[in-house]
Structure 1
Amino acid sequence: MAITTQETTRPPRRLDDVPGWFPVLDQVLFDWFLRRQEEAGTRGDLLEVGTYMGKSAIFTARHLRAGETYTVCDLFEGDAPDDANRAESTKSYSKLTRSIFEQNYLAFHEELPRVLQGPSSVVPTEVAPGSCRFVHVDASHLYEHVHGDIKAARELLVPDGIVVLDDFRSEHTPGVSIAAWEAVLNGGLNPICLSTQKLYGTWGDPEPVQEALMEMIEQRTDCHLSTQTAAGHRIVRLKSKGMRAPEFPPSRYADVPEEPEPAPAPASSAPPAAPAAPRRRPSRVRRVARDLLPPVLTRAIRKAMH
């Protein structure tokens, strides 16, 4: 999904003020998966591959615990590794800069995450294998890059860690779809659930987390749940029915007064000029006298008519 975003100097006041694509259903699911890991005592770092303006990164960072590291990776305004990726970045993310991301992130958190500026291929050399409990993949939509990102996620996750693949079924991202379902069919990835935009999966046992998720959803009235079986996998499909986003604290700028809009220019106090009087059209008698009579008689007639 591509949009054009203009850089602004006003920092965000609320999470919704941060540009990006992070639907309410996915906010609910991120919050649930991360809380469930914490309640189960699952330890591990957090990773986001492709962060754009920081909306989902800001949200995820609330679940960072002491002793854990949060790493985000993005090209920002850096050089893409190949022509196709360069064209994709120019078309979809031309306004993205690291300074915009950092401004947005620091509006909600005291410290920045660990930032890797470069292609996602640098992640496996910078993040330790088996160190992550939650990985969000939302970088390039090109098959070759997504395939590598999924492979890296498998190596970086703890045994029951969660991977989230964005844009796995959008009409403009067939490369993501192919890479995602290839991982399911041939790479051991077990789908846990599908939202409108994201696939949630694990290389561990999906059944316990699926059962807990369906139990949670069945207690809600704002989410539609359906299941089906495909290629031996139980597919849980979720769709929002007017869901409200989880509560999220406002930014540090929430109470800063808005700068007033420039006042309109004052109207002039001088009265408007009176419209010019219309010119009187000469009468028919005057026109005939002017055209036919000698000037001496014309002047006499004019004098007599006044």
Structure 2
Amino acid sequence: MSTAGPQSAPPATLDDVRGWFFAVDRHLFVWFLEQQKKAETPGNLIEMGAYLGRSAIMLGDYVREGETFTVCDLFDSEAPDEANSGEMAASYRDTLTRKAFESNYLAFHDALPDLVQAPTSVMSDGRVEPKSARFVHIDASHLYEHVIGDIAFAKETLSPEGVVVLDDYRSEHTPGVSAAVWEAVATMDLLPIVVSANKFYGTWGDPTPLQDLLLEELAEHPELTAYEERIRGNRIIRLRNKAGLKAPSFRTSRFHDHIVAERTAKAERERRLKEAEAAALPARAKRLAKDLLPPVATRAIRNARRGGR
């Protein structure tokens, strides 16, 4: 599921949180984060651009003791320039608010991440130590000037073992992201690991061990197929998935049981109402016929019924 728009009710599951976080990328997020967990890779988590929190909620499950998770987003603040303001109005209208993000996140977690409500450019002001992060997800502005700055920040912030994820690197409506990503590959030493239809996964360390392990595991996956490509002599894995790929399971929210009970009760009320309406239909039809048919026709129907007895 991947939807956008108003969200009025608390989420029962991660899929109830509005946003764009497709099944294949949920698999890749889990895979990279689980590899870091197994290897005990140290470092903090950062998300730049969060919308209503679907990917942030998943990332929050991988914050270990002593680590921080920082989320930077404008939310409902004013954009810093006219171009960014126009982008926000076209893409999010009135759906993106900090209150909605916090409500969704707290449905799954006991405490909020470190929230920075500002343009992502403020992340470069020294609030994050160099080489201190192990996972950076960039999904904020689609404008080239902003994205190239976000990538430069990620380069300074990620450890050699760290992974950067860039959203919308190939969409027709985000050419600025495409330009920034491939410029970083060509001139900023960003090395690709794997790409899905929507996200680019890269590193400034050695991608080979992760690529080898990923290819080994994907060889046995029934719904994911990997292809190897070369860009400027560097290997890149291209990942395709079959239609209907299911996202990895994720725990339910603290409201799940209550919401499911309410939905079940509502469905039962609707079922009973339909049954009552169906039972009342013949009586209503008789009354309608009596009201609409002329007396001669009504007497004929009655006589026919008596004759059939």
> TM bucket by the smaller chain?
0.7 to 0.9
Look up the match of 1:98.
98
Instruction: Supply the distance in 2 between the matched residues of 1:25 and 1:96 (Cα, whole angstroms).
Output: 24
CA deviation after TM superposition for structure 1 residue 3, in Å:
7.0
Which residue type is aligned with residue 39 of structure 1?
Answer: K
What is the correspondence of 1:97-116 to structure 2 with a 5 Å cutoff? 97-116=97-116
Instruction: Supply the distance in 1 between the matched residues of 2:239 and 2:293 (Cα, whole angstroms).
Output: 73
Structure 2 runs not aligned, ≥5 long: 296-309
Which residue type is aligned with residue 216 of structure 2?
Answer: E
Structure 1 runs not aligned, ≥5 long: 279-306
Instruction: Supply the distance in 1 between the matched residues of 2:33 and 2:4 (Cα, whole angstroms).
Output: 31
Report the secondary structure of 2:37's partner residue: helix
CA deviation after TM superposition for structure 1 residue 243, in Å:
3.2
Look up the match of 2:76.
77
CA deviation after TM superposition for structure 1 residue 127, in Å:
1.9
Percent of pairs with identical residues: 49
Look up the match of 1:118.
118
Is 1:31 equivalent to 2:30 in the alignment?
Answer: yes
CA deviation after TM superposition for structure 1 residue 137, in Å:
0.2
Q: Does the 8 Å CA contact 1:228/1:234 hold for their aligned counterparts?
A: yes
Runs of 4+ aligned residues of structure 1 deviating over 4 Å after TM superposition are: 261-273
Look up the match of 1:287.
none
How big is the alpha-carbon RMSD for the aligned residues of Structure 1 and Structure 2? 2.2
Look up the match of 1:296.
none
Look up the match of 1:68.
67
What is the TM-score normalised by the length of structure 1? Answer: 0.85
Number of equivalenced pairs: 277
Is 1:275 equivalent to 2:292 in the alignment?
Answer: yes
Look up the match of 1:203.
204
Is 1:138 equivalent to 2:139 in the alignment?
Answer: yes
Look up the match of 2:234.
233
CA deviation after TM superposition for structure 1 residue 75, in Å:
0.6
Residue-by-residue CA offset, 1:196-247 (whole Å, 9 max, x unaligned): 1100000011111111111111121211111111211112100112433222
Q: Does the 8 Å CA contact 1:130/1:155 hold for their aligned counterparts?
A: yes
What is the correspondence of 1:1-306 to structure 2 with a 5 Å cutoff? 5-8=5-8, 10-94=9-93, 95-125=95-125, 126-241=127-242, 242-256=244-258, 257-258=261-262, 260=266, 271-272=287-288, 274-275=291-292
Report the secondary structure of 1:42's partner residue: coil
Look up the match of 2:303.
none
Which residue type is aligned with residue 52 of structure 2?
Answer: M
Q: Does the 8 Å CA contact 1:142/1:173 hold for their aligned counterparts?
A: yes
Higher helix fraction (1 or 2): 2
Look up the match of 1:304.
none
Q: Does the 8 Å CA contact 2:170/2:198 hold for their aligned counterparts?
A: yes
Instruction: Supply the distance in 1 between the matched residues of 2:4 and 2:53 (Cα, whole angstroms).
Output: 15
Instruction: Supply the distance in 2 between the matched residues of 1:277 and 1:42 (Cα, whole angstroms).
Output: 86
Instruction: Supply the distance in 2 between the matched residues of 1:43 and 1:193 (Cα, whole angstroms).
Output: 22
